[in-house]
Chain A
Amino acid sequence: MGKIVTDSSALILLAKCGLIEKFCDTYEIIAPKSVIMEVASEEMKKRYPDAALIAELISNEKIKEQNPEKVKLQLPVTLDQGEKDALFLAGELDGSMFATDDGKAIKAAKFFKISFIVTPRIVIELFRQNKISYQLAKLAIEKLSIIGRYTPDIIANALLTLTEEKK
């Protein structure tokens, strides 16, 4: 099972587009403690139903907590603690991938040559691997446009790729 290390942006968008449970069933999802605190603290659970869902997935170990071990490398850009921890952890775990929806974190991942994936691509991949239906994938990408605030060019490209995968 492939390992995916997520930061808070990816966890939130996967929850908001309704695919986080499917994603956790399909892959080994890992998040550092700092990320978990950002998205699923007691305060977040009270405010946001999706935060409570993430907290439940953590308590059921569908999302595993793990922290980076090595001495921190010098980043080419500044990042907040959770983003940094997730990036370094993805770099430490062999064959893992960094899931993020932040442009600056992606820039750092590219610098360290760490494989990264954004949520619209996760949706396409789940469809490509027959884990979700075309309708569900399309709906999720549409949600990433409105709720997830992805740019129209990315959404158009994601929908086009999805349609091509359907053929």
Chain B
Amino acid sequence: MTKPTTIRLPEDLVSEIDQYVHEAKLDRSIYLREILKKGFSIDKQERVLQKYAAGELSQMEACRALKWDPWQFFEELRIRNLHLNVSLEDFLHSSELPGK
């Protein structure tokens, strides 16, 4: 189900899009919808990962928001050269294991 919406775009962007869809023989509306979806998805990933890095989201909360599994999460961090939200202080304060 799709819903119509209106947005104002810069003229040069519109002409570049029009030129591309003409050359590639694409449906303009479908193309715009797809790149909007793609752009929104990238933007959402960035926003969620920023919240994760700031400690506002846990790993699994971030996974749920992005529909990632926890294994994928580490790979996605690697691709983006991002790190875990564990601080040096957390590492230094973490306990010792009980002796067996």
Contacts and interface: CB of A to CB of B under 8 A. Distances in A.
Interface in B49-100: 55-61, 63-64, 69-71, 74, 77-78, 82-88, 90-100
Contacts of B98: 2, 27, 95, 97
A93 interface: no
Interface residues of A, number: 57
A129 B85 contact: no
Interface in A79-105: 79-83, 95, 97, 101-105
Most B CB contacts (10 A, CB to CB) among A27, A125, A154, A157 go to: A154
B58 A121 contact: no
Contacts of A157: 88, 91-92
Contacts of B91: 118, 120-121, 154, 157-158
A1 B100 contact: yes
A102 B91 CA distance: 11
Contacts of A77: 58
Contact of A117 (B61, B82, B97): B97
Interface string A102-117: 1111110010000111
B83 A151 contact: yes
A39 interface: yes
A16 B90 CA distance: 21
A8 B60 contact: yes
A29 B90 CA distance: 21
Most A CB contacts (10 A, CB to CB) among B58, B61, B69, B90 go to: B58
Given A26-B100, A121-B94, A103 B86 contact: yes
A7 B84 CA distance: 15
A149 B70 contact: no
Contact of B99 (A9, A48, A50, A129): A129
A78 B65 CA distance: 13
A31 interface: no
Contacts of B59: 8-9, 80, 83, 101-102, 104
Interface in A34-86: 38-39, 43-44, 47-48, 50-51, 77-83
Interface of A: 1-2, 4, 7-9, 12-13, 16, 26-27, 38-39, 43-44, 47-48, 50-51, 77-83, 95, 97, 101-107, 110, 115-118, 120-122, 125-126, 128-129, 146-151, 153-154, 157-158
Given A27-B100, A126-B97, 12 more contacts: A2-B97, A12-B71, A39-B71, A48-B71, A51-B71, A78-B58, A79-B60, A80-B60, A117-B97, A149-B78, A149-B82, A157-B92
